[in-house]
Structure 1
């Protein structure tokens, strides 16, 4: 079989090179952080030419995003406790834990700062579609159990859950309070008016 045919075969040389580069990028990120990631260093670690990385990924940011996409799969596992509230709190808690890590914070900022070139757009879309497809199962199961109405907008519910967390990481740069997931979930499920009416100091008029 020709070299060209081998490169086209799933699991062939192309796949091995891709895996080596992504692993090298993750190692470099863990050691040096986002700012210290250098394509030349990744190429040396992976045993490939620097030009090969640029030819495939285009930019340093695109390479970093794809490498971290796969690592993000680990924290993104969806809990199934049998309770909507508990599932949402657990999922949001995992997100907080990930985004308070150096690598998670770097990933979120790199994803937000990535450009609109085809490679970056594809990586960004793939990441968010995978996130919403997986986390949306929490809402779908809750609908099946009768905890939520069938008219619930699944994606909107997840967006309302994770948006405040990403907002603090990317825009206000605030520390993420460990109790934040529970506060977000209760506001999402009950609404601000409902929480105000049932909490201390609520009007009794």
Structure 2
């Protein structure tokens, strides 16, 4: 009897199953980074990963499910937040992590491919949104700690502050084509800090934490 199809992103297999998952996701990432979303094909990925085609179809079923699993895995493997003891230091660390990711030859190209696909594929868009929710939640405690230290207004929307750090960097990558270097990362962090301190991110403006 065929095994039930797992819910993507909820199963954490071990042993051979884990190795198969890792090999297929690595192959998918390679194709995304070098050839783009349009070249993803489950049968081809099975061949590249050296696993059975039936195994790949049974586990993921569709390219969209596989990309969702890839993004879930990337979110889990991403570096944890850095806590420096100051909001300036924490957000600068966040910005520089985003900058390094976007300029990495493999990961930068991979993200561009996924973002491009997300504009016309709702399943890929949902997976991308989930990835960023995980990463934002990872860094939100830095802002909450700054509120507790009295560095920011008490009603600051921590999620909006973290979004404000990376937004200018993605704009450079996807729209303007301007350099995404450490200087740009530091400016983005400094601008987010200044805006947060001035009260530009009140939770009441967007419904605050209850709306996330």
TM-score, normalised to structure 2, is 0.71
**In structure 2, what is the equivalent of residue 200 of structure 1?**
none
Q: Is residue 2:28 matched to residue 1:25?
A: yes
Alignment partner of 1:83 is 2:86: yes
**Residue segments in structure 1 that go unaligned for 5+ positions in a row:** 195-205
Please give the alpha-carbon distance, in whole angstroms, between the structure 1 residues aligned to 2:40 and 2:189: 39
Instruction: Kindly state the Cα deviation for residue 21 of structure 1 after the two structures are TM-superposed.
Output: 1.6
Question: Which protein has greater RCO, CA pairs closer than 8 Å, 6+ apart?
Answer: 2
SS at match of 1:148: coil
For residue 122 of structure 1, report the CA deviation from its aligned partner: 3.4
- How many aligned positions are there? 188
Q: Secondary structure at the match of 1:11?
A: coil
Distance 1:55 1:81, change over 3 A: closer
State the distance in 2 between where 1:23 and 1:90 align.
Answer: 27
Alignment of 1:35-184 (within 5 A): 35=36, 38-39=40-41, 40-46=43-49, 47-49=51-53, 52-53=56-57, 56=60, 58-59=62-63, 63-64=66-67, 66-115=69-118, 117=121, 119-184=123-188
Task: Decide whether the 8 Å contact of 2:87 with 2:146 is kept in 1.
Answer: yes
Q: 1:114 to 1:125 in 2, by over 3 A?
A: same
C-alpha displacement of 1:41: 3.9
Deviations 1:110-146 (A, max 9, x none): 2322246553243123202101111112111111222
SS in 2 for 1:4: coil
- State the Cα distance separating 1:154 from its structure 2 match: 1.0
Matches of 1:122 and 1:189 in 2, distance apart? 29
TM-score (ref. length: structure 1): 0.73
Give the CA deviation at 1:6: 11
Report how far residue 187 of structure 1 moved.
Answer: 2.0
Q: CA RMSD in A?
A: 3.5
Instruction: Return closer, same or farther for 1:163/1:6 CA change in 2, 3 Å cut-off.
Output: closer
Is 1:186 the counterpart of 2:190 in the alignment?
A: yes
Asked whether the equivalents of residues 76 and 91 of structure 1 are also in contact (C-alpha less than 8 Å), the reply is no
Q: Could you tell me whether the CA contact under 8 Å between 2:68 and 2:127 is conserved in 1?
A: yes
Verify the 8 A CA contact 1:143 1:149 in the aligned structure 2: yes
